[in-house]
Structure 1
Amino acid sequence: MNFDLHNVELVGQQTPDPLRFAFSRKKSPHAGGMMHSVKGEDIQISLEEAHALAPANTLAPRCLYIHIPFCRVRCTYCNFFQYASSSSLIEGYVAALREEIRWKASQTWTQAAPFQAVYIGGGTPTDLSAKQIHTIVSDIRSQFPLTPDCEITLEGRVNRFGLDKFEAALDAGVNRFSFGVQSFNSHVRRSAKRLDDREDVLKTIQTLVSYNAAPIVLDLLYGLPYQTLDVWQQDLQDYMESGAHGVDLYQLIEMQGLPMAKMVEQGKLPHPADTQMKATMFDMGVKFMARHHQKRLSVNHWASDNRERSIYNSLAKTTAEIMPLGAGAGGNVNGCQMMQTRDMDTYKSAISERRYPVTMLTMAPSNRAVAAEVKSGFDAGVLAQSKLDRVAGIGTFEALIPLFNAWERNGLVYLERGDEAASDTGIEVVSVAGGGYVSLTLAGQFWAVTLAQNLIEVLQSNTPTGNSNVIKNEATHVAA
């Protein structure tokens, strides 16, 4: 297998502080690879064929993603904003969405097997009325086959999320709530165009938690303007004080063209944290969660009790199929990876004509499981030889040992060789076929997406012995 071990973009810098300086910056929130694009009318033909067939494996996990493309206010860092919330626009959209739900629920692919997770994301789904939330969730539950323990998540913000909406969602069957708090600090929140101050946010979350009816999960973002280390420490403390059942710690990814970048350029906001500061904040977050005995579910997600499972977020990084519903939704069905149009009029017109409202379609290669295994493994913090070799071919892990060694020298991973596993006595060396692991260090966890992307690109450009298929890999992108 060919790769350049002198390329610092691949192996990282050799530095006493790999957490902060292994790479220059994180370039993307997700790892991914190349796929074959489908154009023109072939999009409709391919999708009609995909939905008319049952999945090849009816036991494989799959999910539903429903996109609600409305927000009352656009946050300065957000790339998902589509439409400002208005009652008339939302009403027309919900009608079209319900029509899409009825149409797609009747298809062969849909009814062939149950769904393990449903995620209603955006946008801000909690901008819907209590009745609209109840109606959409009820439609999903009555028309789609769901597993008995199906996780049904409603995403949103606490602003104007009254108990009427909460109780309507619970009554309809929502059993998990995810709120994008980002920061509790009132000044940080206002600068990011987040509504409500710290006291109101804490009070609302504590009230929802007190119902003891479903897991309440928070997103916290680190690296925002005005978010000092002291502010970040208080954000972590506030998570504990809120009583929430789980939390994601996400790194701010700066993108050109977003309101934040423009405001910084105009001098209206200070620069957000640089990579080294964000690495420090990640370090603080990991140590804080360990000190408070939070259960770690992935490199950036923790739970305070066993009710928080994060099923959708975990499955989205695997080969699980995801049916998209709504304008701007993304998913994959029977090897078709798709993004639905973000344009409201185009979406409504397509649904009324029973045409798939898809603007981008790519076909997954036969070895798409390879990229999924890399992404899910690095998200969990460990890549297993047995799992990688099962999808990429025997010998793949061994062929990558020089790269793993370079990462280990640079403080990013721990490499465990199957033939180096010692017995409990410390004397006998036990050979374990396929028993190798690459475990991420703290620095590796911070750079997990970068490492996963680099490994996917290496596998794309090489053909390990015994497996001529490991050339191209899938990029899974689902709006959530």
Structure 2
Amino acid sequence: MIFTPTMTGISTPEPLKFAFTVKTSAHAGRAGSRPLMLDQDKWEQWWSIDSSAETRALYIHIPFCRKRCSFCNFFENGAKPSRVTKYVDALCKQLADAASTQFILSKPFDTVYIGGGTPTDMQANEILQLANVIQSFPLKQNAEITLEGRINGFTNEKFEAALSGGINRFSFGVQSVNTEVRQAAGRFDDEQTLLQRLSELAKHPKATIVADLIFGLPGQTFDTWMHDVQAIIDSGIHGVDLYQLINLPNSRIDINEQKHKFQDRADTQERAVMYAAGAELLEQHGWDRLSNCHWRSHKREESLYNTLAKQGVEIVPFGAGAGGSIHGHGVMNARDLKAWHNANESGIKVPGMVMSVNDNAQIDGIIKKGFDKGMLALDELPVSLRDHLQALFVKWGENGLIELDNNRLNLTLAGRFWNVNMLAGLFEYLATNPLLVQAA
């Protein structure tokens, strides 16, 4: 077997800090599909066929923001009201047409995610318009329906419109509660305004309120980070994600560093300590860990869409730049807003990119699900694959990243911090040391 440090990590007394060099991506995957040319007739045929998926999600993309955040490299379109209105009208018509197709009607949807961009930049009537169209889809009872966005500008009118349309979960990109840190990152509100609004929203009996926090932001110290986590605990909201800052190419942070305008921010080792301390504080206050990066204070929070998305379930995408899968094929809609509108107006419905079925998808979904949770059930894998991976598991165990318990692979705290690197390492291991016999 051939091993590399990017597969196994390294042996160190402090694996939390030093097992790998740096996290460079939010996700890990491997090749297994290729681009397909799909004509309009074939695309329309797909919508007349029943879905074979056991679990389904609906993703709707709202590609508008009022401001570009410092850590973001995928800012798409300014949130000019007339532009948003035109888009929402076209999107709702597309959704209404799709809702009556056999493909959509054949299986109910477990969860819906309205992401962006900043969907809360829609007007109240537009939020309700979109929510009402979503209700024309077959949804499971009490389906999780999430609206993503920011606290600033999310008025009571918008909140009530969303709730009356059946939206029951709200995910806000808080990033930090510290006024100086968050405003430097491109957020609007000060700490007091933010926390007061979060607490108000969390009191509603039918709304699940969730926030994202980022550790490693410019100007953020260990103490300000711990204050962030404690403030979220005290706010009364129902869930939180702890995300590590990734220096994405062409983000404002990256551009400043290329110009040697260095900003004071935590290095990888300091971020590892921040992650561990944040996780410990949440769990000391009774928050349940649902994944390596997500905790909840109340059972109403399930984080269902995020969980299913990492498992590779069927996600039917709508909107410019939306990605997902249909009949096992990866699909990505045109990202350019003008191109998306032109395609709609001319009757062209084929997405911008379609991929062939990935033969590895089912196995990869099992592995990704396990790594996301911090526990991989090895008996869900084919015996041949499980045996083939044992040599890698031994290396991980020696390096303090996992513990094996019968048929369970449990990530240690260090393993949870480095889980994306480990998953990428597993796929590298399989590419370098291919499994030649695929027996169950």
Name the TM-score class by shorter chain. over 0.9
Q: What fraction of aligned residue pairs are identical, expressed as a percent?
A: 41
Which residue does 2:438 correspond to in 1? 467
In the alignment, the residues of structure 1 paired with residue 337 and residue 355 of structure 2 have an alpha-carbon distance, to the nearest angstrom, of 22
Which residue does 2:87 correspond to in 1? 93
Which residue does 1:446 correspond to in 2? 417
Which residue does 2:13 correspond to in 1? 16
- C-alpha displacement at 1:358, in angstroms? 2.1
Which residue does 2:52 correspond to in 1? 56
Structure-2 change in CA distance of 1:205 and 1:49 (3 Å): same
Which residue does 1:204 correspond to in 2? 197
Structure 1: tracts of 5 or more residues without a match = 419-435, 470-480
Which residue does 1:340 correspond to in 2? 333
Residues 74 and 81, structure 1, Cα contact 8 Å, conserved in 2:
yes
Is 2:149 the counterpart of 1:156? yes
Q: Which amino acid aligns with 1:403?
A: L
Q: Which amino acid aligns with 2:244?
A: Q
The Cα RMSD (Å) is 1.7
Which residue does 1:25 correspond to in 2? 22
Which residue does 1:116 correspond to in 2? 110
Give deviations 1:316-358, integer Å, cap 9, x for gaps: 0113100101111110010110111111111112122332352
Residues 47 and 336, structure 1, Cα contact 8 Å, conserved in 2:
no
Structure-2 change in CA distance of 1:199 and 1:405 (3 Å): same
Is 2:133 the counterpart of 1:139? yes
Structure 2: tracts of 5 or more residues without a match = none
- C-alpha displacement at 1:46, in angstroms? 5.2
- 1:206 aligned counterpart, secondary structure: helix
Is 2:393 the counterpart of 1:396? no
Structure-2 change in CA distance of 1:366 and 1:267 (3 Å): closer
In the alignment, the residues of structure 2 paired with residue 193 and residue 310 of structure 1 have an alpha-carbon distance, to the nearest angstrom, of 26
Q: Which amino acid aligns with 2:189?
A: D
In the alignment, the residues of structure 2 paired with residue 56 and residue 307 of structure 1 have an alpha-carbon distance, to the nearest angstrom, of 29
- C-alpha displacement at 1:465, in angstroms? 6.3
Pairwise mapping of residues 244-255 of structure 1 onto structure 2 (< 5 A)?
244-255=237-248
Q: Which amino acid aligns with 2:14?
A: D
Residues 7 and 428, structure 2, Cα contact 8 Å, conserved in 1:
no
Tell me whether 272-281 or 45-54 shows the greater mean CA deviation: 45-54
Q: Which amino acid aligns with 1:160?
A: G
In the alignment, the residues of structure 1 paired with residue 240 and residue 153 of structure 2 have an alpha-carbon distance, to the nearest angstrom, of 21
Normalised by the length of structure 2, the TM-score is 0.96
- C-alpha displacement at 1:45, in angstroms? 5.5
Q: Which amino acid aligns with 1:70?
A: F
- C-alpha displacement at 1:213, in angstroms? 2.2
Is 2:374 the counterpart of 1:381? yes
Which residue does 1:409 correspond to in 2? 398
- C-alpha displacement at 1:361, in angstroms? 1.9
Q: Which amino acid aligns with 1:200?
A: T
In the alignment, the residues of structure 2 paired with residue 412 and residue 105 of structure 1 have an alpha-carbon distance, to the nearest angstrom, of 46
Pairwise mapping of residues 255-266 of structure 1 onto structure 2 (< 5 A)?
255-266=248-259
Residues 324 and 332, structure 2, Cα contact 8 Å, conserved in 1:
yes
Residues 39 and 350, structure 2, Cα contact 8 Å, conserved in 1:
no
Is 2:8 the counterpart of 1:4? no
Tell me whether 106-115 or 262-271 shows the greater mean CA deviation: 262-271
- C-alpha displacement at 1:402, in angstroms? 1.1
Pairwise mapping of residues 68-467 of structure 1 onto structure 2 (< 5 A)?
68-141=62-135, 143-266=136-259, 268=261, 270-356=263-349, 358-389=351-382, 394-416=383-405, 418=406, 436-460=407-431, 462-464=433-435, 466-467=437-438
Normalised by the length of structure 1, the TM-score is 0.88
Tell me whether 103-112 or 68-77 shows the greater mean CA deviation: 103-112
Q: Which amino acid aligns with 1:4?
A: I
- 1:225 aligned counterpart, secondary structure: coil
Aligned residue pairs: how many?
Answer: 440
- C-alpha displacement at 1:138, in angstroms? 0.6
Structure-2 change in CA distance of 1:22 and 1:91 (3 Å): same
Which residue does 1:477 correspond to in 2? none
Tell me whether 271-280 or 331-340 shows the greater mean CA deviation: 271-280
In the alignment, the residues of structure 1 paired with residue 95 and residue 433 of structure 2 have an alpha-carbon distance, to the nearest angstrom, of 42
